[in-house]
Structure 1
């Protein structure tokens, strides 16, 4: 064998060994961050815990997208409401720097709805959330606090960089938006991942394809979507996006998780959150 062939074979072996040695991203770390956030919520109160665990660029819908630090920083101190929540479904990027969790929450012991949080690993290795805000989904039948968490399948492919991933996701969002202008249900069924979830109504979060189709039936038949922002993982395999939504009788915002599957970018999570109606003068 020629020396060049030996060098090429050695390089391939080194790459394979490095890939095998690379630690697999564990969604349990996102779950741990969420649970720490929830524990601080009970110990510190809503304002203190939300300020502590949100990234500087984190947003909430109030009712328009606003920086979380500004919203909670301006909130009054004190408050006696006990907000409790726990994750039941979570996912993470292959690069271990972007993830999400969702689950039910209660206020003063009364079950209310579901939360949804997008998380990003920080430069110091810790986690901060980028978005927090969930649908009015019914918590009926939800597993109790401390129950096992289900994990979304990891991405099958990766774009290779955040910039390339966002360019591809932008195209996927544009295709979804184009389809939703004439037939929202068909557009979503073409874009949703096999294990994807779509929420926004007061029904329980879909746990089957039939549930998902029923959830889509609660939405307007046509919607105009306009992207506002988002971020992709370092590997380019997972991305979150948010934007504005308008339909015949209302408006609101969407928040999504996109995953790069074998067939391309697919919706792993989508919530449509109507904006509060403006009182008529």
Structure 2
């Protein structure tokens, strides 16, 4: 009886240890990316566009902006947004598509965005489609490498 109990305890311990090593399914990864996109967008409202785009950028991130201008690196991204007049600006977006690599270390999203600039009669909306590439960081967080 003791041998059987020890055997069952051993099998249970091995099963639990194995389960702890299994990576979440890709659907779990997709939920992570949706949550990161949502937190990123929320931060633009709460802390400002410049800080949000800086915070969620990978050290080697690249932004593609007007006229195919590329802004490379977190510091340059912060500088770019800090130089913009964003007092009366906001941006809203939500991904229509999220796809994550099977290994869970890279992902991409795309969907529609709306930039609102100005106020009152000078208020202007710019609509478009965004595409973001995400990379899982060593600490498990996600940062964009392309936006």
Residues matched between the structures, number:
116
Q: Secondary structure at the match of 1:39?
A: helix
In structure 2, the partner of 1:76 is 83
Equivalents in 1 of 2:100, 2:22: separation in Å? Answer: 19
Q: Which runs of 5+ in 2 are unaligned?
A: 1-13, 117-123
Instruction: Kindly provide the CA deviation profile for residues 148-202 of structure 1, in whole angstroms up to 9, marking residues without a partner as x.
Output: xxxxxxxxxxxxxxxxxxxxxxxxxxxxxxxxxxxxxxxxxxxxxxxxxxxxxxx
More helix by share: 2
In structure 2, the partner of 1:32 is 35
| TM-score scaled by length of structure 1 | 0.37
Q: Secondary structure at the match of 2:88?
A: coil
How far residue 120 of structure 1 moved from its aligned partner, in angstroms, is 0.8
Does residue 67 of structure 1 match 2:72?
A: yes
Q: Secondary structure at the match of 2:95?
A: coil
Q: 1:64 to 1:110 in 2, by over 3 A?
A: closer
Equivalents in 2 of 1:69, 1:22: separation in Å? Answer: 29
Off by >6 Å, runs of 4+ in structure 1: none
Asked whether the equivalents of residues 54 and 75 of structure 2 are also in contact (C-alpha less than 8 Å), the reply is no
Asked whether the equivalents of residues 42 and 84 of structure 1 are also in contact (C-alpha less than 8 Å), the reply is no
Q: 1:124 to 1:111 in 2, by over 3 A?
A: same
In structure 2, the partner of 1:130 is 145
Asked whether the equivalents of residues 51 and 68 of structure 1 are also in contact (C-alpha less than 8 Å), the reply is no
In structure 2, the partner of 1:252 is none
For residue 48 of structure 1, the aligned residue among 33, 36, 51 is: 51
Equivalents in 2 of 1:116, 1:61: separation in Å? Answer: 10
Asked whether the equivalents of residues 111 and 131 of structure 2 are also in contact (C-alpha less than 8 Å), the reply is yes
Q: Secondary structure at the match of 1:129?
A: strand
How far residue 64 of structure 1 moved from its aligned partner, in angstroms, is 4.3
Q: 1:124 to 1:60 in 2, by over 3 A?
A: same
What's the C-alpha RMSD, in Å, of the aligned pairs? 2.5
Q: Which runs of 5+ in 1 are unaligned?
A: 1-13, 133-281
Equivalents in 2 of 1:59, 1:111: separation in Å? Answer: 21
Q: Secondary structure at the match of 2:32?
A: helix
Q: Which has the higher contact order (CA 8 A, sep 6+)?
A: 2
How far residue 70 of structure 1 moved from its aligned partner, in angstroms, is 3.4
Q: 1:21 to 1:60 in 2, by over 3 A?
A: closer
| TM-score scaled by length of structure 2 | 0.68
